[in-house]
A and B are shown apart, each in its own frame.
Chain A
Amino acid sequence: MKVPEESQGIGAALLPILEKLPVLSRYAKTRGWYYVISWLHRVTGIGLVIALMVHMVTLWSWQTPNVYYTGMNIPARPFFVFLAWILSLFVSFHALNGGRLILYELFGMRGDETMIRWTFGLSAAYAAMVGLLVILKNQRMSAFFFWLMMFFAGAVTAYVVDSRTARGRHSLFWKLQRISGSFLFITMPAYLLFAYLNPGLADGAQTVVVRLQNAFVRVVTLALAVSALYHAGYGLFSIMADYASSRTLRAGVTALIAVVIAVLTVLAFRLILSV
Chain B
Amino acid sequence: MTKTYSLTLTIKRYDPDRSARWFQTYRLDSGPILRFVDLFRRINVEQDATLAWASSCEHAQCGSCSVNVNGRPMLACELLVENAVTLFGTTVFKIAPVSVAPVIRDLVVDWEKAYERVHRAKPYLIKPKELPPGMTEHRISPQELARYEEATRCINCFCCAEACISGNRTFIGPNAAMAGIVRMMDSREKEKEERLDLLYSEEGIYRCHTSKACSHVCPKQIDVAHFIALAKEGAF
Residues of A within 8 A of B (CB): 1-5, 26-27, 29-32, 34-35, 37-39, 41, 101, 104-108, 110, 112, 165, 167-171, 174, 238, 241-245
Contact = CB atoms under 8 A, between A and B. Distances in A.
A168 B233 contact: yes
Given A3-B86, A26-B71, A110-B226, A242 B234 contact: no
A31 B217 contact: yes
Q: Interface SS of chain A: helix, strand, loop or mixed? A: helix
B187 interface: no
Interface of B: 60, 70-72, 74, 78-80, 83, 86-88, 163, 165-167, 169-171, 196, 200, 202, 206-207, 209-213, 215-217, 219, 221, 226, 229, 231-234
Nearest to B79: A1
A243 B169 CA distance: 6
* Those 3 A-B pairs whose CB atoms lie nearest each other, nearest first: A168-B234, A32-B216, A167-B234
Contacts of A107: 233
A205 B132 CA distance: 76
B192 to A, nearest CB: 11
A107 B200 CA distance: 18
A227 B216 CA distance: 33
B165 A30 contact: no
Residue among B80, B87, B212, B217 having the largest count of chain A Cβ atoms under 10 Å: B212
B113 to A, nearest CB: 14
18 contacts: A1-B60, A1-B219, A3-B83, A3-B87, A4-B83, A30-B71, A31-B216, A32-B213, A32-B216, A35-B165, A35-B211, A38-B210, A101-B210, A106-B233, A167-B234, A168-B232, A171-B200, A242-B169
Contacts of B78: 1
Contacts of A169: 196, 200, 234
Given A1-B79, A26-B71, A174-B206, A38 B163 contact: no
A227 to B, nearest CB: 20
Residue among A1, A38, A39 having the largest count of chain B Cβ atoms under 10 Å: A1
B213 A31 contact: yes
Contact of B211 (A31, A165, A174): A31
A35 B163 contact: yes
Contact of B87 (A5, A105, A112, A170): A5
Nearest to B223: A110
Contacts of A168: 200, 231-234
A35 B200 contact: no
Contacts of B170: 241-245
Contact of B202 (A4, A35, A112, A241): A241
A39 B209 CA distance: 10
A20 B137 CA distance: 57
A167 to B, nearest CB: 3
A167 B71 CA distance: 38
A23 to B, nearest CB: 12
A105 B206 CA distance: 11
A170 B213 contact: no
A2 B217 CA distance: 12
Contacts of A244: 169-170
